[in-house]
Amino acid sequence: MRKMERKSRKDLTTIRIGKRGITSSLIEETSKNLKKTGIVKVRILKTGFKGRTTKEIAEKIAEATDSNIVRIIGHTFTLRKAKRSEKDRYL
């Protein structure tokens, strides 16, 4: 877990949620980056909340991208998607 926290603090792929909120293109971009790197940092701008909390937005995106929430701090959260092992690829 600490390795993930250290990696999430470094300069990772950062996705910003703005006034449009959670869109299909945002989900696609997040999924693409998760598949490529395994971990993505998402930042919510002030206009992106629309009456929701950071936790609610993080859970919705995590569910849509089939990933896990590593950490939530303020308006920023980190998502992680476990890479499939060789054994799982052939099932």
Read off the pTM. 0.78
14: domain range? 2-82
> What tokens were used for 50?
């629309």
For 14-64, what is each residue's pLDDT tens digit? 899 999 999 999 999 999 999 988 899 999 999 999 899 999 999 999 999
Task: State the DSSP code for 46.
Answer: G
Q: CA–CA separation, 23 vs 6, rounded Å?
A: 29
| CATH code of the domain covering residue 61 | 3.30.110.60
Distance of CA 3 to the CA centre of its chain: 17
Q: Confirm if 8 and 70 have CB atoms less than 8 A apart.
A: yes
- Evaluate whether residue 87 is within a structural domain: no
Write the burial class of residue 12 (CB in 10 Å: 0-12 exposed, 13-18 middle, 19+ buried). middle
